[in-house]
Structures are given as structure tokens and as C-alpha cells.
Amino acid sequence: SSEELDRRIRAAKAELGDRVMVLGHFYQRDEVVQYADYVGDSFQLATAATARTEAEAIIFCGVHFMAETADLLSTPEQAVILPNLAAGCSMADMADIDQVEECWEQLMEVYGEGEDADGIAPIVPVTYMNSSAAIKGFVGRHGGIVCTSSNASTVLQWAFERGRRVLFFPDQHLGRNTAKAMGIPLEQMPMWNPRKPLGGNDEQALHEAQVVLWHGFCSVHKRFTTDQIAKARAEHPGVRVIVHPECPMPVVDAADESGSTDYIRKAIEGATEPTSFAIGTEINLVQRLAAQHPQHTIFCLDPVVCPCSTMYRIHPGYLAWALESLLEGEVINRISVGQDVAEPARFALERMLAAKP
């Protein structure tokens, strides 16, 4: 029963004390979030992973790429545990390392390798945090950098100081929305088509490109529509519409604001007058914010509940299993990035942590 699970989790956590740190992403269900020592967006959780070095184990209630990132940024002695190994991210899976290597090779044929006389590279790879460690390693080896939804424009700025163009993956929407906000015209953001090697991609467009986009997307955020926004405005005059930048461009354009999960949280916490908020992001976060702020009217733009199905795979039962195993001296579901990938991937992450707006 859930009472029994609750008792087991609390008892194991109390006994482990500082030996364990439980991290939870904003999209985790409340039944899991209640046990997290720290709850945040993917950027905050990446830095939280570096903060408590005395913990022997970090139990990451989130998805696979987040646990990999925690492993990259924690000490070698710390074990990072993903309570359910089936918690992946469909967007991260859309950038396959072989496809990215292939794309890069073909882009090098178009642009030519090496920096120009001023030390400017023809193209700099930028990966969204929502990608495998192998992809972060690729980026690290090619002078590139990682970004999250909370620092994408700072990171793009960083990349444009070092390169003539950017290859952005896996999320086409975050790439397009961020580049557009920086004033880059849509015609200069062609999308790379992996099914059509060089011959099928328009070489002229690639030469004129400022940002080459990858074809990935988030299946949760692509569900939001401008019709939903129009309906929210009609039904709730004065509503503030805030969406995650993983939403398609027309949705971001029709919203009042866009930002990371923590941006959304802060916007609501900062509202001093009772306000209506229509939110375009994952339902667990929206429902939690609504419960925490009864003075406001807070609802999800999508009337059909839209959870991230892989985030949902973390169930309290798995958390109990991970904690009780630790008590017995056993580490289950450890996420450990191999050395050859870890070194360049860490490099790309550290560039991100050092990039300042």
C-alpha cells in the first residue's frame, strides 16, 4: 500500500541520512517529489549534483540524460542511481550519435574544416541538455557546448563568438525559438534532414545558414496549440500565458512569455495580485503550482491531461527499492558514463556552467 511504501521510504532515508541525496525534477509526480531533498529544473539539478559531495549516492528522480549529467558532475566515488532504468526521454533519443557524426562529416564537406585566420570556426555544435552523454561528448570534442532551456540564448551567444554558425540539437523548437528571439531570420535556420544526405539537403541554404537545426522535438510540448491559447484568452480575460520554449514557434509567439520550468515557477511566485495563468508545460508541475498558489487561477493549456510518460515511470516503489538496497550495501541501477565519453562531455558541461550572460 502507499502508506506502507511511505513508511519504508521515510525509514530508509532517515537511516541513510547524509549518505544519500534524492533529487527530483519539477515534472515528477507529487508522490515522488515529497521525498526529494532538492527539486528543480534540469540546470539547477545539474548544479545540485555537485553540491553535496559527502553523499555516497545520488538518487535521481528524473530521466536518463539527467542522471548521466549528474554522474558527469559528481565525484567519481558518488554513485548516481536512476530508480527505473526505463525512464528515458524520447527527445534525447532523437539525436543518435551515429547520425550526428554523419551529419557533422557532411557539414565539414560543405564548410571545410578548421578555423579561419581570426580563429573563427565554420560551425559550432550546441546540444540541449536533453541528449545522451555520447552527444555531449561529441560536442565537447568539437569545440561545442551544452545548453538548457534556462540559458539557451547565453549559450548561443557564446557559440556565435567562436563560430560563424551553430548546429543545434536535438530540439528544433528550442533552437528555433531562441535563435528567432536573437533576431535570426527563419530562412537562415534550415533543418538538417538525416534521411537525405548531402545531395538532398540544400547546399545553398546550408551556406546561408546561421543555425542548422536538428529534427528532434518533445512529444509533450508539441501538443500545445495556438487554438488553446486563443480559447484561454477568450475564457479568462487578462490571462497570462506562459509556455516552455520546447513548444512550437507559433505557440511561443502567441504566448505572453516563455521560459524554463523554473522560470514558470518564479513568474507565478512573483505575481502579487490574484492572476490567471495558462501554462504550456507538463501537467505534474502545473498541478503542483496550482495547489501551492490557491490565490491564482492556474491551469494547463491542454485540456487533455498531458504528462511526460517517461518521467512518470519513476514510482515511489522504485525509490524504496533503491534506498533499501543502499542500506544493504548494494547499489542498483547505477548510471555510469564511460571514461572516453565522460571527459569531453564534462568539458562541454563546464563550458556551459562558465558561460555568463
Which residues here bind ligand 13P, judged by CB under 6 A? 26, 41-43, 130, 148-149, 218, 246, 260-261
Q: Whose Cβ is closer to ligand SF4: residue 58's or residue 91's?
A: 91
Taking CB under 6 A as the criterion, the residue among 22, 308, 335, 349 binding ligand SF4 is 308
Q: Does 9 bind ligand SF4 (CB under 6 A)?
A: no
**Do residues 110 and 206 lie in contact, with contact meaning Cβ atoms separated by under 8 Å?**
yes
3-class SS of residue 24: strand
If contact means CB under 5 to 8 A according to the sort of partner, which of ligand 13P, ligand SF4, none does residue 284 touch?
none
Q: Does 218 bind ligand SF4 (CB under 6 A)?
A: yes
Taking CB under 6 A as the criterion, the residue among 12, 311, 314, 319 binding ligand SF4 is 311
**Strands 57-61 and 79-81, bridge-based pairing:** parallel
Q: What's the min distance (Å) between Cβ of 73 and ligand SF4?
A: 18
Q: What's the min distance (Å) between Cβ of 90 and ligand 13P?
A: 10
| 193 is annotated as contributing to ligand binding | no
Distance between CA atoms of residues 159 and 102, nearest Å: 21
| 35 is annotated as contributing to ligand binding | no
Which stretches of 56-194 are DSSP H helices?
64-73, 97-111, 133-141, 152-162, 172-181
| 89 is annotated as contributing to ligand binding | yes
Q: What's the min distance (Å) between Cβ of 157 and ligand SF4?
A: 23
Q: What's the min distance (Å) between Cβ of 148 and ligand 13P?
A: 5
Q: What's the min distance (Å) between Cβ of 208 and ligand 13P?
A: 31
b/e map of 119-142 (b: 16 or more CB within 10 Å)? Answer: eebbbbbbbbbbbbbbbbbbbbeb
If contact means CB under 5 to 8 A according to the sort of partner, which of ligand SF4, ligand 13P, none does residue 145 touch?
none
**Do residues 102 and 112 lie in contact, with contact meaning Cβ atoms separated by under 8 Å?**
no
**Do residues 247 and 261 lie in contact, with contact meaning Cβ atoms separated by under 8 Å?**
no
Handedness of CA 178, 72, 138, 163 (dihedral sign): positive
Backbone angles phi, psi at 81, to 5 degrees: -120, 130
CA–chain centroid gap for 336, Å, is: 19
Q: What's the min distance (Å) between Cβ of 330 and ligand 13P?
A: 29
Taking CB under 6 A as the criterion, the residue among 57, 63, 103, 268 binding ligand SF4 is 63
For 30-48, give the DSSP string.
HHHHTT-SEEE-HHHHHHH
Q: Does 282 bind ligand SF4 (CB under 6 A)?
A: yes
Handedness of CA 322, 61, 315, 2 (dihedral sign): positive
Taking CB under 6 A as the criterion, the residue among 220, 254, 285, 286 binding ligand SF4 is 220
If contact means CB under 5 to 8 A according to the sort of partner, which of ligand 13P, ligand SF4, none does residue 214 touch?
none
Cβ-based burial of 331 (10 A; exposed 0-12, middle 13-18, buried ≥19):
middle
Q: Does 189 bind ligand SF4 (CB under 6 A)?
A: no
Q: Whose Cβ is closer to ligand 13P: residue 131's or residue 228's?
A: 131
Q: What's the min distance (Å) between Cβ of 198 and ligand 13P?
A: 32
Peptide bond into 344 cis (omega under 30): no
Stretch touching ligand SF4 by CB under 6 A, among 30-38, 186-194, 218-226, 341-349:
218-226
Stretch touching ligand SF4 by CB under 6 A, among 11-19, 89-97, 146-154, 342-350:
89-97
| 103 is annotated as contributing to ligand binding | no
Distance between CA atoms of residues 184 and 178, nearest Å: 9
Interface ranges with ligand SF4 (CB under 6 A): 63, 89-91, 130, 218-220, 282, 308, 310-311
Binding residues: 25, 42, 89, 128-130, 149, 218, 244-246, 261, 308
